[in-house]
Amino acid sequence: MAPRKGTLLGETDFPLYCAHALGQHHFVVCGGGGQAKTGVPNAFEVFELANEHNQVVASSVIKYDKLDRAIMNSATVSDGKNHILAAGLEQDCQVYLLKHKVCTRKPEDKNELTTRKRRSNLTQSEEHKNAEKVITFDVDLVKTVQTDFDGDGGFQKVVRLSYDKTLLLTGGADGFLRIWNYPKMTKAHEIEAHDGEIEDLDISPSGNRIVTVSSDKHAYVWVTKDGSKHCELQWTKKTQTPYRYKACRYGGIEGNKEKCNLYTCHIPVKRGRKPTPCYISQWDSTKLVPRKIVDTGPEVISAFAVSDTGDYLGLGMISGSVAVYISFSLQRLYYVKEAHGIFITDVEFLSSSDSTRAITGDQDFSLLSISVDKQMRLHQVSARGRFNFLWVLVGFVVMVYFLFATLASYGF
């Protein structure tokens, strides 16, 4: 039986703001204590997943803390082995290359790893004890670029990388969408997109469209090639109170990146005494009209993610709760109340590959949630649970059939 609040994978020594799966066996978390010299580091840390005694565990592989500010937003993309990490530190974007490396573990490394695992409430298997080779990463700072120029002090709020690794997109406090050529980080387009802060943005799997959402209550779709405005999204839900867009994501259909849906999250502009619901919407990515809009309840959405197959939507709430929805129907599949003691800063689905599932088990999904409480929790729903329910239902039908057959034989 899964823990009531999800599986605690471990804790870091710095507040967490963003998380990303790195390939099939690793994930990275980013955050920090900020510029104030409180002793809380600004860092990102890579963890390796493993299965020990039928339980998913995570062990720290590398921690990079040579930062003078906290990472508040980030994005990653992989070339199959190495990973690009784009990190937002106030008005700047720093791009790192995480280079995959296999090295031999020294005896003192084993002791250090054991200490880290004990601090994170993790266990150590015989496989790890006897291993001579470990996977780690070399970290190179590739580039630092200022990406936001707001007059009150620039602040990058979101960054994305295109699937083909040729473009980097940023948005922030000054309302500009900036499209950068990667890896040179030369500016391709600078678009005065919104009157308010850009809250979120995403690029389509094909790379030809970009969507931005803002605190100004508008959402626009842009043409990547020339930076022109394609259209404004028209949300059709009739509400008594004003709403704004919180997040946006493209998601593949049935694992096909050539076909995709667009998803958006909506929260009330103001919170009144009477709780008002939040919503998620599924859009036709070609016609750009809403297909489905679903009420997710009064808990305010603070984080949003789409699984790599496009089958599931993950939500994190200001209350610390976590929910997962089936993407095509927008039906809620999973919910845990107050998984974290404070607001959730990010959620991230782990890979659905066979290699990852060999570690995480036969699950519908594996969703990572993080918070400023420094905890990393894993949420799962067993795929077998659905089949078990079907067998129970079939068994019930068979019992009813035999009951009526028996009664009929006695003339009832």
> What is the per-residue pLDDT for 390?
47
Instruction: Dump pLDDT digits (tens) for 93-122.
Output: 999 999 999 887 655 554 554 444 444 444
> What is the per-residue pLDDT for 410?
59
Taking the CA atoms of 314, 292, 253 and 251 in sequence, report the sign of the dihedral they define. Answer: negative
Instruction: Dump pLDDT digits (tens) for 18-41.
Output: 999 999 999 999 999 999 888 999
Largest CA distance in the chain: 87
Q: Which residue in 311, 199, 333 sits closest to 266, CA to CA? A: 199
> What is the per-residue pLDDT for 348?
98
Q: Which residue in 149, 148, 165 sits closest to 157, CA to CA? A: 148
**Average pLDDT for the chain:** 89
Q: Identify the band that residue 158 occupies on the pLDDT scale cut at 50, 70 and 90.
A: very high
Of 214-218, 338-342, 398-402, where does mean pLDDT reach its minimum?
398-402
> What is the per-residue pLDDT for 400?
58
Residue 227 in this model has a pLDDT that exceeds 50: yes
Residue 316 in this model has a pLDDT that exceeds 70: yes
Cα→Cα distances 382→9, 255, 388, Å: 18, 20, 10
Of the chain, the percentage scoring pLDDT greater than 70 comes to 85
Of the chain, the percentage scoring pLDDT greater than 90 comes to 78
Range 169-173 average pLDDT: 98
Q: Identify the band that residue 393 occupies on the pLDDT scale cut at 50, 70 and 90.
A: low
- Residues forming a β-bridge with 294: 280
- Residues forming a β-bridge with 30: 18, 44
Range 285-290 average pLDDT: 96
> What is the per-residue pLDDT for 133?
77
Phi-psi region of 41 (alpha: psi -120 to 50; beta: other; left: phi over 0): beta
Instruction: Dump pLDDT digits (tens) for 260-271.
Output: 999 999 999 998
Residue 384 in this model has a pLDDT that exceeds 70: no
Residue 380 in this model has a pLDDT that exceeds 70: yes
Taking the CA atoms of 65, 67, 69 and 75 in sequence, report the sign of the dihedral they define. Answer: negative
Range 133-146 average pLDDT: 94
> What is the per-residue pLDDT for 386?
42
Residue 3 in this model has a pLDDT that exceeds 80: no
> What is the per-residue pLDDT for 258?
73
Q: Identify the band that residue 361 occupies on the pLDDT scale cut at 50, 70 and 90.
A: very high
> What is the per-residue pLDDT for 114?
45
> What is the per-residue pLDDT for 107?
54
Q: Residue 100: how many CB atoms within 10 A of its CB?
A: 17
Range 213-224 average pLDDT: 98
Instruction: Dump pLDDT digits (tens) for 53-102.
Output: 999 999 999 999 999 999 999 999 998 779 999 999 999 999 999 999 98
Range 198-216 average pLDDT: 97
